[in-house]
A and B are shown apart, each in its own frame.
Chain A
Amino acid sequence: MVSLRPEPFGALAYHFGNRRLSFLRNHDMVRVVESLGAHDSVADALEAAGVERRRWPSFEKALATLESSEMIRVRA
């Protein structure tokens, strides 16, 4: 189970299982993470959140980091 807690700088994400804590230090990043479930792909989510294409690589990298800490996962 993962919780997102809003903060002035973005959000804190906490995984109750592995007890990891992540800092999402960007409000766009928070919106993207929150909306992942409503989209079929990361690209769709980034597009819908209005993230400029030149910023996509950093978002993809950040999402990969969140995946490696089990904060998010590829939908089955």
Chain B
Amino acid sequence: MSVHEPLELNVQSGAAPAVLAPNGRTTIPVITTQPPAPKRSTLTDDMKRGLDAPICLTWELTYACNLACEHCLSSSGRRDPRELSTEECFAVIDELERLQVFYVNLGGGEPMLRPDFFEIIEYAVSHHVGVKFSTNGTYIDAETATRLASMDYLDIQISIDGATEDINDPLRGDGSFAKAIAAMEHLYAAQFGPFKISVVVTRNNVDQLDDFAAIAARYGAQLRVTRLRPSGRGADSWDELHPTMDQQRQLYHWLKDRPEVLTGDSFFHLSAFGEALPGLNLCGAGRVVCLIDPVGDVYACPFVIHDEFLAGNVRDTGGFTAVWRNSELFTSLRQPSSPGACGSCGSYDACQGGCMASKFFVGLELDDPDPECVKGHAEELLAARVPGTAPVPSVDHSRPGIERTFGRTGVSIGAKPQPVEARVSEPATFT
């Protein structure tokens, strides 16, 4: 679903199917000759009740990472010794094939650090589970790019969070921009086709949206922009990095004008500015999306790696299927939920109260407004927070001794970060 990615808001009432392009954009058939039909539920209602299997499944393959991005959702750095073995990964893929999960979003950490990375993706695509994987690009050289270009049912997403080194590297580490661009060059030269460039929108890069689009155009790539969440290490830097209200409005209009830009449907809270953005405008956690982490733990979505949102483990009896279908957590997420304080707001239908993960990690209640509510309904709540009371991620694989540029533990903004290599106390290689 990007999440989860190809989902959409569907307003039809007839028998016609909604058709989604691979990029998550929708062609909604307009039905002009509709016979009288009994009142039926919308697609949004169907999605809220949950599906028999996820549409959009994120699977982080390892917590190992050569970078130490300040907003890392999974607080990655060091491999976890309990990570799924190659055989266990194959067993998960077998299950996904049986469930007809058509594709998975693989990530990490840096998934290419797993020595069995190619084995896993080749096993998946040969078992009718398409693969999209997210990478920082470090390990895509000319030879690897050629190998990737020879595979079917494979999408690649390269992450940058600045359209220039001076914006990207303070967040993602010295040299990370150059490495990502080099990977793009290699994929382009190997004629991989339209890979994706993935950008988390921050206060510092929102003015570069057109520049990101230009980079994508240069490599025949598709631009994908997603929302900054206060998850993982992002909890520390969110206050400083999330877009301002004016920037949110700027982003909303930019996206409205560019339906070709992918968003993983992650900006549905912006729909309260007016006309809905294309896509599924609701939280899909545990309903149509979920996360499998490197040790096999299943969470409601990629942005809530925390015990409160842990549904089970793929190693449990019944495997992933039992977790998806029967876990107490997912069952409860599929029940009708109270709009809480948002019930009296005229925009609730547009934003559905926003993102559960964002609320949780800034210390709001799940029925409070989204912390980035475009009507400003969360501002007082945020101002009233007591520092240090927000939930802390239960899982942290950060390498020790890494200085932060942003956030409460860091030095001041704009300070030159030390080279990543000089700050790691332990090699990030997958052992």
Contact = CB atoms under 8 A, between A and B. Distances in A.
- Interface size on A, as a range, is 20 to 34
Contacts of A21: 6, 19-20, 55, 102
B138 to A, nearest CB: 26
Listed residue (A13, A19, A55) with the most chain B CB atoms within 10 angstroms of its CB? A19
Given A58-B34, A69-B27, A23 B17 contact: yes
Nearest to A69: B19
Contact of A3 (B29, B41, B52, B128): B128
Interface residues of B, number: 34
B51 to A, nearest CB: 6
B386 interface: no
B354 to A, nearest CB: 24
Contacts of B40: 25
Contacts of A57: 33, 35
Instruction: Tell me what chain A mostly uses at the interface: helix, strand, loop, or mixed.
Output: mixed
B35 A58 contact: yes
Interface in A49-76: 54-55, 57-59, 61-62, 65-66, 68-69, 71
B14 A7 contact: no
Given A12-B55, A26-B15, A20 B20 contact: yes
B251 interface: no
A13 B17 contact: yes
A58 B52 contact: no
A71 B21 CA distance: 12
A6 B108 CA distance: 30
Given A12-B55, A61-B29, A5 B18 contact: no
A13 B84 CA distance: 30
A30 to B, nearest CB: 10
Closest 6 CB pairs of A and B: A19-B22, A62-B16, A5-B100, A22-B17, A14-B102, A9-B46
Given A21-B19, A22-B20, A54-B35, 9 more contacts: A3-B128, A6-B52, A9-B43, A9-B46, A25-B46, A29-B15, A57-B35, A61-B16, A66-B19
